[in-house]
Amino acid sequence: MGRVVARPMLAGQIAEKVDCTLRGDGNVTVQSVAPLESAVAGDLSFFSDSKHRRAAQCSTASVLIVREGDANELSSSPLGERVLLLHPAPHLAFAKVLDLLFPAAPFSGGIAANACVDVTAHIAGARIADFAVIGARSKVGSGTTISSHCSVGNDVEIGADCYIHAGVRIGAGVKLGDRCVIQSGAVIGADGFGLQPSRQGWQKVQQVGAVVIGNDVEIGANTAIDRGAIDDTVIGDGVKIDNLVQIGHNCRIGNHTAIAGCVGIAGSAVIGARCMLGGAAMVNGHLSICDDVIVSGGTLVAASITTPGRYTGVFPYTEHRAWTKIAARLRRSAA
């Protein structure tokens, strides 16, 4: 088991803290959590989606979070009686159990002896880990962790209670709100792709905007968010961005929008609030997407979207030989 180690807790204590109704022996100890299929004695699991009913019946988890209506059916396991925690939204209760059993390590501020912090930086109650570099005049809020090997440029502002994982790059002038989480390898504030044709080839256009990131934002591993060309690139409150996402200069992402892995958003695109972009979706530059739009995975958005709803544009996959026929027919249709 490669898993992070849980802090054991009694079923009764969990029921109380997560606001569940206990049915069964509250003195059973929960050692860890597991999916229904792989749970063993001592594990807690949950059942909410009826397509997993069979797995729930067969699960050897000692404790299950279930809806009240499922309690009778699931009160015993192949190993005997089972402790149930009743909750109207088992997956939500389960998420809270995770926070109980896997509490964050207690925060302790301080600057590692081998970190490199500019004398003009303001570090108040933050933790700066090994080999991190913090530039001139930058501010890091209290309760924030800057992990090992991070580079923070000059004039950066990072709020309180953020967690910046190892090896993140934050360029000059970038601003982050509170409670942000940045996964390893993310690059915030690289130069945008600003080019101008000239007789000598492409000329670089200086990128003098910054990146301004709201509160409660999460940014995935190896994701890149470019600084603005003149104005800033802006990421709203509560935006969640997965791994390997590219966000070009001057993009504006509305509050609470979620962006799945491998998405690319070209420069100056404006995306509304509460949107969801599926994996590997691509958004062209200089267009806008209104609030509450869902873009299916793999879809290229080549024109603005002004009506909420779901949009898709993916060639349906088939067995390869069938595909060659379809492709040939499509090609001919342009003749």
Q: Between 80 and 319, whose beta carbon lies closer to its own copies?
A: 319
Does residue 325 touch its own copies according to CB under 8 A? yes
Kind and range of the H or E run holding 90: helix 90-101
The neighbouring-strand residues paired with 322 are: none
Q: Rounded distance, CA 309 to CA 15, Å?
A: 39
Amino acid at 228: G
Q: What residues from 225 to 264 belong to the interface with its own copies (CB under 8 A)?
A: 226, 228, 230-232, 237-238, 240, 242-244, 246, 248, 255-256, 258, 260-262, 264
Does residue 292 touch its own copies according to CB under 8 A? no
Tell me the window of 14-22, 67-75, 119-127, 168-176 that interacts with its own copies (CB under 8 A): 168-176
Judge whether 243 and 260 are in contact, CB under 8 Å.
no
Site string for its own copies, 115-154 (x = CB under 8 A): -x------------xxx-x-------------xxx-x-x-
Q: Are strands 76-77 and 80-81 parallel, antiparallel or unpaired?
A: antiparallel
Q: Which two tokens stand for residue 181?
A: 């989480």
Provide, rounded to whole angstroms, the least separation between the CB of residue 279 and its own copies: 5
Q: Rounded distance, CA 263 to CA 245, Å?
A: 5
Does residue 214 touch its own copies according to CB under 8 A? no
Site string for its own copies, 99-118 (x = CB under 8 A): x-xx-----------x-x--
Does residue 218 touch its own copies according to CB under 8 A? yes
What burial letters (b/e) apply to 252-284, b meaning 16+ CB within 10 Å? bbbbbbbbbbbbbbbbbbbbbbebbbbbbbbbb
Provide, rounded to whole angstroms, the least separation between the CB of residue 168 and its own copies: 9
Candidate residues 55, 71, 160, 181; the one interacting with its own copies per rule CB under 8 A: 181
Does residue 204 touch its own copies according to CB under 8 A? yes
Provide, rounded to whole angstroms, the least separation between the CB of residue 158 and its own copies: 12
91 an active-site residue?
no
Positive or negative torsion for Cα 94, 254, 165, 296 = positive
Tell me the window of 17-25, 55-63, 68-76, 210-218 that interacts with its own copies (CB under 8 A): 210-218
The one catalytic residue among 87, 165, 249, 256? 249
Judge whether 82 and 65 are in contact, CB under 8 Å.
no
Candidate residues 10, 208, 287, 290; the one interacting with its own copies per rule CB under 8 A: 208
Does residue 209 touch its own copies according to CB under 8 A? yes
3-state secondary structure 15-56: HHHHCCEEECCCCCEECEECCCCCCCCCEEEECCCHHHHHHH
Q: Between 126 and 282, whose beta carbon lies closer to its own copies?
A: 282
Does residue 72 touch its own copies according to CB under 8 A? no
Q: Rounded distance, CA 282 to CA 266, Å?
A: 8
Provide, rounded to whole angstroms, the least separation between the CB of residue 68 and its own copies: 21
For the chain, the straight-line distance linking the first and the last C-alpha, in angstroms and rounded, comes to 59
Query: Which residues carry out catalysis?
Result: 249
